[in-house]
Every structure is written in structure tokens, then in C-alpha cells.
């Protein structure tokens, strides 16, 4: 046992069979799956897909799904370390790798500096000649290539925009996977908005062959969904789920798509297929996220049923309880919120964990300006401490 001071700072622990369940926007995560590329490490999460590396750009059919305000070049130190004299053997190989890494960081730093200058309106390119001049010094900048494509589209030069995209793929270094991915996404957007089914299918097949395929599938599906082409979106998700059967991100993206469209029965059926396809270790997270989708897009009552089912089997999953509370607080039904808090503080948890929930309960009570409820929470915390001390 230990003292629980609900007025002090603190938070829940992460011991005992806890796995993080993200309580963020599931639908926002899927929307990000439709955005263009950023760090490759984010590509595995459907609730955070890659974004295009751009600062700002006028809206156009080409930029659908892009988030230009999120442009940031990969982080780099302010100065790259000076490479040592190359020794022999394994140490020499390590030194070579270090120099290559420093060189890559320097390239990223230079690119970031160039793009930062472009964010200054006075230096922003306005004509094709401006872009051609800038691309001589930064041939691997997807930011410049995509902006150049947009310039051509703004002039109703669709074929020239295609040609710029093709030049970009030939010019961008093969090692710059994220930069190339940005261009593939831009070309998919272009064909969706201005091409035919045949041209869109052709660029999609080229993209999955020339880039990491899973994010391309996710972007293609989300592009169809944004355009209201639900059947096409489901066809892409079906193909992706077969190719990446054990990839949780694909199944969650599809579930989110169905629930946003109000296809709740189809979502419930897909949940079963998802559970059948994924390892048991991932079932709790997937089912919990489906519960979030029910709260957000379907029925709060069905969402409660989903969470209660998970917690009946895993009553000590603090992360699931916390997400459940998030959903109830979002729904804003005071009786349901209080009922859930009372269930949580009655659990047999460590002092660190129970303190986290008492603090949340007290914050909620204060937000309601209900002095009686505030006092009730404080009294309950004291009773818990007394029982723990006596145990």
C-alpha cells in the first residue's frame, strides 16, 4: 500500500500486462494515411501515415490529402562531426558508415535550409524557369517537384504536370525513398483528379512496384474514399488485406473507413476477419480501437459493450480503462462518466495506478463545479489509503 494524494502531480504506471492503446483520433490517423510521405518509421501506423515534406501550397486537386503545414525536414544536428582518418579493418568500415551518415545529415540540413528559404514569399518560385533554376541545386527535393507540378496544373497544363512528375522520379536519388514516395502520391492524386481509370490504375501499379507498397495501398484507398468512391476503396483494402494479412495497420484503416461511412454491420463483420488474421497478442488493441470507432461514428452504447467485453477478460488493463474513460468523457453523459469512474476506483490496483485514476476523477469533478462530487472523490481516496495501510 501507499499514500494516494489526488491533489499532487502524478500519473498511471505501465506495469502489469499493460500495452499502450492509443486514445487519439482513429479517423485522423486514417486521414493521415491519405497524406504524403514523411518519416518511414511512421508508415506502419494507419492512425499516422507519411506526410509530404512541404511548407505551404495553394490547394489543388493534386494536393488532396497533403498536409503542407507539417513540412519539416528530417532532424539534423547543427553541424556534422568531422570524419576521422580512416583506419583499417572493422573500425574503418564503421568510420565509413559514420561518414556516410554525416553526409546524409548534411544533405538533409542543406535541403531544409533551401526549403526554409522557399517559405519566404519573396523567394518563392513563381514561374517554370524559377523551378528549373532551383531544381538544379536540389534535384531530390520532392517539395520543389510537387510545387512545380501544381504550377502546371494551375495553368491547366495536365500533361506537363505529368511530365514534371516523371522527371522527378528520374531525378530523385533512389536512396531518397521518402522524397520519391511524395512524388508517387502526387502523381496518384493527379490521375485521380484529371486522368482515367486506366491511367490511375497504371500509375498505382508503378507506384507499388517503385515504392514501399503498403503506404501506397493505404493512400490509394483513402483517395478513393475522399472522392466518395466507396466500392473502389473497399477493393483496394481487400487487395491490401490479402497482401499484408498480418499488418494491423491495414485492417484498422479499413475498419475506420467502414465506420466513418456508417457501414456498421460491415465493420462488425470485418472486425471478426481482423481478429482471425492477426496474432492473439494484438486482439485487445484492435478490439479496443473498434470500440473507439463505435463511440465516435456509431453508437456509444455499442462502444460500451465492446469495452466491457475486453475488460471482462482483462480487468487490469489500465490502458484500456483509460481509453474507455476518454470515450465517455468525450460523449459527455455525466451519469455514465461517474459510473465508469466508480468502477475504476474500485479495482485492486497499485497505489501508483489508482492515484492516476483518482486524479482524473478529481479533475472531472472540479470541471463540473460540483462541490459534493469533489468531496466524494477526496473521501474515496482517503478510504483507499486507509484500507491499503491496514492491509
Residue 92 binned pLDDT confidence (cut-offs 50, 70, 90): low
Lowest mean per-residue pLDDT among 116-130, 175-189, 269-283, 338-352: 116-130
- Is the Cβ–Cβ distance between 124 and 118 less than 8 Å? yes
41 vs 323, which has greater pLDDT? Answer: 323
Return mean pLDDT, the chain.
Answer: 80
C-alpha distances out from residue 62 to 59, 161, 269, 292, 350, Å: 8, 10, 35, 32, 53
Per-residue pLDDT at 12: 40
Q: Tell whether the model's pLDDT for residue 64 goes beyond 70.
A: no
Within 8 A by CB and 6+ apart from 70, the residues are: 35, 38, 51
∠ CA 329-330-336, nearest 5°, is: 45
C-alpha distances out from residue 299 to 67, 262, 319, 338, Å: 30, 10, 22, 19
Q: Tell whether the model's pLDDT for residue 3 goes beyond 80.
A: no
∠ CA 153-62-147, nearest 5°, is: 65
Centroid of chain to Cα 327: 19
Q: State the pTM of this model.
A: 0.71
86 vs 130, which has greater pLDDT? Answer: 130
Long-range contacts of 237-240 (CB under 8 A, 24+ apart): 240/214
Nearest to 54 by CA among 144, 187, 170, 163: 144
∠ CA 380-385-388, nearest 5°, is: 125
Share of the chain above pLDDT 90, in %: 66
40 vs 248, which has greater pLDDT? Answer: 248
Q: What is the pLDDT of residues 127-143, one digit of tens each?
A: 999 999 999 999 999 99
Burial of residue 193, with CB atoms counted within 10 A of its CB: 0-12 exposed, 13-18 middle, 19 or more buried: middle
Q: In whole angstroms, what is the distance from residue 128 CA to residue 173 CA? A: 22
What are 42's three cell numbers?
511512421
Q: Tell whether the model's pLDDT for residue 167 goes beyond 80.
A: yes
Lowest mean per-residue pLDDT among 93-102, 128-137, 310-319: 93-102
Determine what percent of the chain falls in helix, strand and coil, rounding each to the nearest 5: 70, 0, 30
Residue 27 binned pLDDT confidence (cut-offs 50, 70, 90): very low
Per-residue pLDDT at 101: 64
DSSP-derived 3-state class of residue 160: helix
Q: Tell whether the model's pLDDT for residue 26 goes beyond 60.
A: no
Per-residue pLDDT at 253: 98
Q: For residues 99-109, give the mean pLDDT.
A: 66
237 vs 101, which has greater pLDDT? Answer: 237
DSSP-derived 3-state class of residue 248: helix
Per-residue pLDDT at 390: 85
Lowest mean per-residue pLDDT among 57-66, 137-146, 360-369: 57-66
What are 276's three cell numbers?
482471425
What are 11's three cell numbers?
500519473
Q: Tell whether the model's pLDDT for residue 124 goes beyond 90.
A: no
Per-residue pLDDT at 94: 57
Q: In whole angstroms, what is the distance from residue 267 CA to residue 303 CA? A: 13
Amino acid at each position: 500500500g501507499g499514500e494516494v494524494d489526488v491533489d499532487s502531480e502524478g500519473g498511471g504506471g505501465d506495469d502489469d500486462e499493460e500495452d499502450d492503446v492509443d486514445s487519439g483520433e482513429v479517423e485522423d490517423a486514417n486521414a493521415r494515411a491519405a497524406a504524403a510521405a514523411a518519416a518511414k518509421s511512421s508508415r506502419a501506423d494507419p492512425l499516422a501515415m507519411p506526410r509530404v515534406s512541404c511548407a505551404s501550397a495553394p490547394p489543388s486537386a493534386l494536393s488532396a490529402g497533403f498536409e503542407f503545414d507539417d513540412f519539416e525536414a528530417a532532424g539534423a544536428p547543427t553541424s556534422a562531426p568531422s570524419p576521422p582518418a580512416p583506419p583499417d579493418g572493422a573500425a574503418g568500415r564503421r568510420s565509413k558508415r559514420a561518414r556516410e551518415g554525416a553526409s546524409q545529415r548534411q544533405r538533409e540540413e542543406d535541403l531544409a535550409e533551401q526549403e526554409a528559404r522557399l517559405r519566404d514569399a519573396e523567394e518563392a518560385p513563381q514561374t517554370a524557369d524559377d523551378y528549373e533554376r532551383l531544381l538544379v541545386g536540389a534535384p531530390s527535393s520532392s517539395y520543389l517537384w510537387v510545387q512545380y507540378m501544381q504550377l502546371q496544373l494551375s495553368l491547366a497544363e495536365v500533361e506537363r504536370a505529368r511530365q514534371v512528375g516523371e522527371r522527378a522520379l528520374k531525378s530523385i536519388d533512389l536512396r531518397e525513398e521518402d522524397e520519391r514516395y511524395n512524388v508517387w502520391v502526387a502523381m496518384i492524386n493527379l490521375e485521380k483528379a484529371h486522368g482515367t481509370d486506366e491511367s490511375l490504375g497504371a500509375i498505382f501499379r508503378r507506384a507499388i512496384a517503385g515504392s514501399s507498397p503498403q503506404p501506397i495501398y493505404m493512400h490509394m484507398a483513402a483517395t478513393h474514399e475522399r472522392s466518395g468512391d466507396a466500392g473502389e476503396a473497399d477493393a483496394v483494402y481487400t487487395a491490401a488485406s490479402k497482401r499484408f494479412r498480418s499488418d494491423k495497420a491495414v485492417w484498422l484503416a479499413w475498419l475506420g473507413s467502414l465506420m466513418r461511412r456508417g457501414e456498421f454491420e460491415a465493420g462488425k463483420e470485418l472486425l471478426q476477419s481482423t481478429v482471425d488474421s492477426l496474432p492473439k497478442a494484438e486482439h485487445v488493441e484492435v478490439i479496443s480501437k473498434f470500440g473507439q470507432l463505435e463511440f465516435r461514428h456509431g453508437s456509444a452504447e455499442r462502444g460500451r459493450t465492446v469495452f466491457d467485453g475486453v475488460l471482462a477478460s482483462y480487468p487490469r488493463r489500465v490502458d484500456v480503462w483509460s481509453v474507455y474513460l476518454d470515450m465517455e468523457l468525450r460523449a459527455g453523459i455525466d451519469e455514465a462518466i461517474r459510473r465508469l469512474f466508480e468502477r475504476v476506483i474500485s479495482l485492486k490496483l497499485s497505489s501508483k495506478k489508482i492515484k492516476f485514476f483518482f486524479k482524473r476523477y478529481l479533475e472531472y469533478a472540479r470541471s463540473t463545479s460540483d462541490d459534493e462530487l469533489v468531496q466524494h472523490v477526496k473521501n474515496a481516496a482517503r478510504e483507499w489509503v486507509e484500507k491499503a495501510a491496514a492491509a
